Chain A
Amino acid sequence: MTELETPLLRDTAAAESGDVKTEEMILNMGPQHPSTHGVLRVVVRTDGEIVLDCEPHLGFLHRCFEKIAESVNYTQVTPYTDRMDYLMSMGNNLGYCVAVEKLVGEPVPDRAWHIRTIVVELDRIASHLIAIGTYGLDAGALTPFFYALRDREKILRIFEEICGQRLNYNYVRIGGVAYDLPEGVESRILEFCDYFEPKVDEWDRLLTYNGIFIKRVANVGVLPVPLAIDWGVTGPCLRGSGVKRDLRKKPGYGIYDKFDFDVPVGRGEMGTVGDCWDRYIVRVREIRESLKIIRQAVKSLPAGDHLAAWAKRRIRPPKGDAYTKIENARGELGFYIVSDGTDKPFRVKTRGPSFCNIAILPEISRGCMIADLIVIIGSIDIVVGETDR
């Protein structure tokens, strides 16, 4: 496969063809790399250790989700959504189902929404644990990752009890959830919350306020707010820059208006507002907020159906299109669905938050060192399954 000219290589070729002899190097942080969080290729132009420019290349994990969605029926699309952002599958399922429910225009039972909230928030915690664990790995701290996995294991056991799967759940379905909660799982969820809350303090002692970690991560990759909004950045990356924007606080978003929780934002405690440390601390604090939501949701779980009656028949939404967004662990996950009245979607387009977030990488990493580039990619927290779909 020939290397076609990209803007990065075009500039370098022009520079080298002139009389000025530059000492620049073109480095390929190839699709296989321990720290690109998946098969992401970043072509970096460096002057020694300083990064002059970088260019992310996507597509290594493109699995044609949108094309496949056009040839199966609405219910059969749900397992494919799991595989996009595989670290928060419940969220992906929810995003798709909410879009279809908007098209259909029918309500979802209250018990189903409570169960959805519980599993989505648990999955958010699991996703953030991986994010901060691997972030420690990127910075060189080998141990926090294992503590993250140890605690995430407990969440995965709960999920296995609820729906039989540990990773790609296919649990949140159009019109509710696939199965009702099994006996006794609510007490186990509350036990997990009690067990896990002090562990988050352990994280603060081990990694968050560690002097070396702060030196690596503070004042690096500062993302100013106008740049973030211009590039469509959402989620913890945007909140790390100080913008208090969380879709869960919007009226009409599920049943979240019943719950009392805060939206953490970055305040530049360790450096500049919007640096990598702020994005990291937003995720840590969001774990605590999710625990609050889970406790409230479990305690107020009503009786009722877990799946709406209309959803038990074949889903045939009326002609038209709808776009909904949900607050995923990585940002705003949007689904735009066009229906032609049949039982198969006409077009499904996903707005993956990682796809939009990774686009700012060249903007915020100019002038940093290669070690910082790794740290910045880790703080944006992408899942390549979602960037490429």
Chain B
Amino acid sequence: MSEPPAQVDIVTSLTGAFPALEALPTAIVYPALMLVGAVIATLFVSLFGLFAIWLERKVMAHIQCRLGPMEVGRHGWLQTLADGLKLLAKEDLIPKDADKALFILAPIISFTGAFMLYVVIPFGRDVIAADLNVGLLYLAAVGSVEVVGIIMSGWSSNSKWSLFGSMRAAAQVVSYELPLGLSLLPVILLAGSLSTRDICEAQAGWFWNWFLFANPFMPILVVIYVISSIAEVKRAPFDLPEAESELVSGFHTEYSGMRFSIFFLAEYAALFGVSAIASLAFLGGYHTGIPAIDGIGGFLGGLVGVATMIVKSLCFVFLQMWLRFTLPRIRLDQMFHVCYKVLLPFAFVALVGVAVWQSVLPDRSLWFLPR
């Protein structure tokens, strides 16, 4: 591989696309373009939330032998919009004995934590908000911010049930960050860099360059990552924090209306975030895997990259939804057992295996085929 490509971010891409912006003073252009990037990301997260909630309801319905939303819009695609408008119109209730400041702050922090994941996710070769050279480390760090919001919500609700939910959430999310991080370490080994864009670039070319096929230990790591990411976003079978049949609604029992919808949006933002990380770390990110198509440059190439990235992430999203409606919920002590006694040892072994493979057979991939 030649020298690493220059770092890009939203500012450089947009100034590259619209050279006229270079004439303006940096003090104005920089923040303005950053704002544009943030707005685009927020729009994407909101639209994705809209789509994902509809998709979840349809997937749930068809797995359960029924139809799901069918009334509002063709096959119910406007249902989420209608629900969102309804939630907006609801009364803003704060329990009398709740800690008001924390109660209001909690969903905002939760959403921010989930939203910050999108800063380093490369949707295309030049479509990234900020190509930090510590991208994966940043992702691991920022993933924990959401938990703070959840603990705050459980505590400030002044309800024992909410407290239960948030304590479970804290324990679960913090525990599963270990196998999550460990399963991403070998990716760094293979790519030679922490930057998410470099990780994607290292998987350029034909699809067998993807890290999934890099060596026999990678499929194990993909499985560990998928399980840990489901636990991180607190979805079934790891939805103890919001165990509907036990804790009514767990940490967001006392939230209603707009505040609840922010929590909801945060969940789907995190869902897409971890799926996007999976696709960029193991499935080549925005590369289609066919060099002829990847070679298309310019606007169309960028669009193809974005579409590929979204499709790959949606595959993981669909997998998570499928698992949610098939499996029962796991219990707290069993959850710890899986994390510390099953996933962690496997992750360590796989990490060592990848390291050994890289040093002994750097030019061989899965099935010992030459790269």
Contacts and interface: CB of A to CB of B under 8 A. Distances in A.
A212 B325 contact: no
B41 interface: no
Interface in A120-136: 136
A136 B63 CA distance: 15
Given A33-B248, A215-B334, A371-B246, A136 B240 contact: no
A142 B60 contact: yes
Contacts of B246: 35, 370-371, 374
A49 B332 contact: yes
A150 B63 CA distance: 13
B3 interface: no
Contact of A215 (B63, B240, B330): B330
A210 B329 CA distance: 11
Given A34-B244, A35-B245, A140-B236, A215 B331 contact: yes
Interface in A298-322: none
Contacts of B326: 141, 143, 206
A137 B244 CA distance: 9
Contact of B328 (A141, A146, A370): A141
Contact of B64 (A35, A142, A215, A374): A142
Central interface residue in B63, B161, B329, by most chain A CB within 10 Å = B329
A43 interface: no
B65 A147 contact: yes
Interface in B33-91: 60, 63-66
Contacts of A215: 330-331, 334
Contacts of B248: 33-34
Nearest to B327: A212
A136 B239 CA distance: 15
Contacts of A49: 164, 332
Contacts of B243: 140, 371
Contacts, number: 77
A233 B330 CA distance: 29
B329 A143 contact: no
Contact of A371 (B161, B237, B240, B324): B240
Contacts of B236: 140, 142
A35 B66 CA distance: 23
Contacts of B66: 146
Nearest to A210: B328
A212 B330 contact: yes
A140 B246 CA distance: 9
A13 interface: no
A25 interface: yes
A216 interface: yes
B36 to A, nearest CB: 41
B160 interface: yes
A369 interface: yes
B65 A212 contact: no
Interface string B329-347: 1111110000000000000
B245 A216 contact: no
B160 A27 contact: yes
Interface in A162-219: 206-207, 210, 212-213, 215-216
Central interface residue in A27, A146, A369, A372, by most chain B CB within 10 Å = A146
Contact of A216 (B63, B161, B164, B329): B329
A25 B163 CA distance: 11
A53 interface: no
A110 interface: no
Interface string A21-47: 000010100000111000000000000
A163 to B, nearest CB: 27
A356 interface: no
B160 A138 contact: no
Central interface residue in B64, B237, B240, B325, by most chain A CB within 10 Å = B64
Nearest to B324: A142
Interface of B: 60, 63-66, 160-161, 164, 236-237, 239-240, 243-246, 248, 324-334
Interface of A: 25, 27, 33-35, 49, 136-143, 146-147, 150, 206-207, 210, 212-213, 215-216, 369-372, 374
